[in-house]
Structure 1
Amino acid sequence: MSHAHHHHVDPDAGDGKIAAAVAINLGLTLAQIIGGLVSGSLSLIADALHNFSDAISLIIAFGARKIARRPANADMTFGYGRIEAVAALINYTTLIVIGLYLAYEAVMRIAAPEPVTGWIIVAVAGFALLVDLGTAALTYRASKSSVNIRAAFLHNMADALGSVAVMVAGTLVLLFGWTWVDPLVTLMIASYILWLSATELPKVARILMLARPAGIETEDVIAAMRAVPGVIDVHHVHLWIMQEHGNALDAHIVAAADTDAGALRRAIKSHVLDAFDLHHTTLELETETDRCIDPLIIGH
């Protein structure tokens, strides 16, 4: 899910617009489900479920965004920022379940076609297109500072394309009676949902698994620290994504004799901040006489 940099933005900016986006998406979902049941359109119900998942993802992202602002405490000493990664994991897992269900239903509908009312599909999908574009407009500003909200924004833009596809399916049913187009479009929507989830889940997993930040090589960070005057060796290095807007570094530094420990620590922190945008750095300084015995360079 990009390079992590600090963004100085109002944490409450856009909350009202996001809440409004949630409300209209839930209303749209209800309208699409009713339209799909009345018209017999599986693609319309598929689009409804996708919109519903987007509304739920917005709710989860909105709640996680609120929780993430809480300060660190004795229970959560790192703070609550990683709750957004947990929220993203829930959202994408739900999308996978929905995508698999829609694919199954589409295959069953191809095997046993059912009558479809094209004009209802076109009307409801057209309304959905307007709502998707409106929701994208409401979340656009907040999407610039939040990975969670940006994912929801991109979902809505993709939903707009999905609504166009459903409208095309309804039009083909009206003009030519091609009812098979409806489950075909459903398969396309399901494929998109599964593709999106498959590409985004690894990014979320990297945050939860404390992986190194994308775009930063651990070996480069180690080399940069070793290049600082006064550093003899570096070991027990940990480099990880702490939360959405912050990466962290932890390492043991073997300092040369008669080195000012405070000055060396400041020099290393300044160097990795400038070179790799690492704002949260913890360093344990050792001397050659009391250094770790046979240490691992990376990890413990």
Structure 2
Amino acid sequence: MPDAVMPREAAAALKGDAALPQKCLDCGQRIGWVELFFSLFLGLFKLTIGIISNSHALIASSLYSAQDFFSSIIVIISMKYQKRPPTEDYPYGFGKIEYVAAGALCLAVFLGAITLLIAATRVIFAGVTHPAHWVAFWAALVAFGANVMLYRYSECAGHRLGSPAILTTSEHVKGDAVSSILVAVAVLGTKAGIHHLDPLIAILEVAHIIFMLYHMLKQSVGGLMDAALPEEEQEQIRTLVTAVDGVEQITDLKTRAYGQSNEICVEIELDPSLALAATAPIRNAVKDTLLKGLVKPSTVKIYLAPAGEGRALASSRQQAVREALARYYLGHVKRHHLEITPSSVALRLTFYSQVLPGMRKQICAAVGTNIENNIEDGTVSVSEV
């Protein structure tokens, strides 16, 4: 039977500060708006100065701010929607909203990058007639200092909350700071007589933006396609689970990331001689170990299976349960939770709301009788969740 827990805050009180998780959550709520207005102002500032000073590199740098602006919108949307509880239509919650928004961001910024790439290429082939003005140099230095401060703020919030959207935004801000330095170098180069340096750096900046968009889109597609967690994280999960007393081995491990949370489904083998009541402490110990050992909040689902010959017995009893449910499942039973030991079968059914209480009792009794007729020994209990 799967046992799922979704912690409300970060998986642990980082650095032992009991007040820190709430502070981090408050920071996570603010960071999106801070970056939103900051990036909007800085992007318009660089775009305006770039046009006035005839600096293609500074105009290209404004694309970084545009990317930061849209990333901030993603952070705001994700922080808002991920707080919503799961619904009947969306039983797994709204964690993937980040990936959908990130895909839209990639498309918007990519179109702007291609437009600027074409413009900078035309300038190189047509020849530079008006070198960039010194005002672009000073604007680049101002942008660099502002981006460094924002990067430190967003990186801290992203690591504490474990938010891929905030961490992605912090990397964009860092790229924006680097691009500002390149703009300053481009202006110095044009003043030294290297007039093509400004559009060349603009092309390099656009290429870097497209490269970042590719990785961002790759991450978004992976999230939407339920890509597994990195191998090092899976190995950490295996190490934590197998260290729990009573766990014979891990027979199956499935993981996926959805926004700021992970889902971990692990099947473990236990001693087949254990009674059903004796398996609960082991299952709870595995769950607690994972929630305490992993920094990122996770939904943990644990499936129990008897080791050795008991596994074949469990398989035959699962078949008996499936046959029993086949007669009543469609239109009546919404979900079922199953626990099997060598001496017992415990089945809990979740019915659709339109199924009347009297009918629910009849189905539970009929399913229990059907299972008993298909197993040689052991007690059978069927109840409603």
What is the TM-score normalised by the length of structure 1?
A: 0.78
After the TM superposition, which residues 151-162 of structure 1 pair with which residues of structure 2 at under 5 Å, given as runs?
151-162=168-179
1:184 Cα shift? Answer: 1.0
Question: Match of 2:263, SS?
Answer: strand
- 2:134 aligned with 1:119, yes or no? yes
Give the aligned CA root-mean-square deviation in angstroms.
3.5
Q: 1:199 to 1:126 in 2, by over 3 A?
A: same
Structure-2 residue corresponding to 1:150: 167
Q: Is the 8 A contact 1:71 1:79 kept in 2?
A: yes
Structure-1 residue corresponding to 2:33: 19
- 2:190 aligned with 1:170, yes or no? no
**Counterparts of 2:174 and 2:199, CA distance in 1:** 22
Q: 1:216 to 1:35 in 2, by over 3 A?
A: closer
1:211 Cα shift? Answer: 2.1
Gaps of 5+ in 2: 1-9, 14-20, 320-385
- AA matched with 2:94: Y
Q: 1:232 to 1:141 in 2, by over 3 A?
A: closer
Structure-1 residue corresponding to 2:301: 281
- AA matched with 2:285: S
**Counterparts of 1:180 and 1:232, CA distance in 2:** 64
Q: Is the 8 A contact 2:86 2:94 kept in 1?
A: yes
Structure-2 residue corresponding to 1:296: none
Q: Is the 8 A contact 1:18 1:139 kept in 2?
A: no
Structure-1 residue corresponding to 2:92: 78
After the TM superposition, which residues 78-227 of structure 1 pair with which residues of structure 2 at under 5 Å, given as runs?
78-114=92-128, 115-144=130-159, 145=161, 146-176=163-193, 178-214=194-230, 215-217=232-234, 221=238
Aligned residues: 286
Q: Is the 8 A contact 2:53 2:133 kept in 1?
A: yes
Range that drifts further, 100-109 or 140-149: 100-109
Structure-2 residue corresponding to 1:64: 78
1:55 Cα shift? Answer: 1.2
Q: Is the 8 A contact 2:64 2:173 kept in 1?
A: no
1:230 Cα shift? Answer: 8.2
Q: Is the 8 A contact 1:265 1:283 kept in 2?
A: no
- AA matched with 1:113: G
Gaps of 5+ in 1: 294-300
Range that drifts further, 102-111 or 273-282: 273-282
Higher alpha-carbon Rg: 2
Question: Match of 2:301, SS?
Answer: strand
Question: Percentage identity across aligned positions?
Answer: 19
Q: 1:213 to 1:273 in 2, by over 3 A?
A: farther
Structure-1 residue corresponding to 2:11: 6
Structure-2 residue corresponding to 1:297: none
After the TM superposition, which residues 285-300 of structure 1 pair with which residues of structure 2 at under 5 Å, given as runs?
288-289=312-313, 291=315
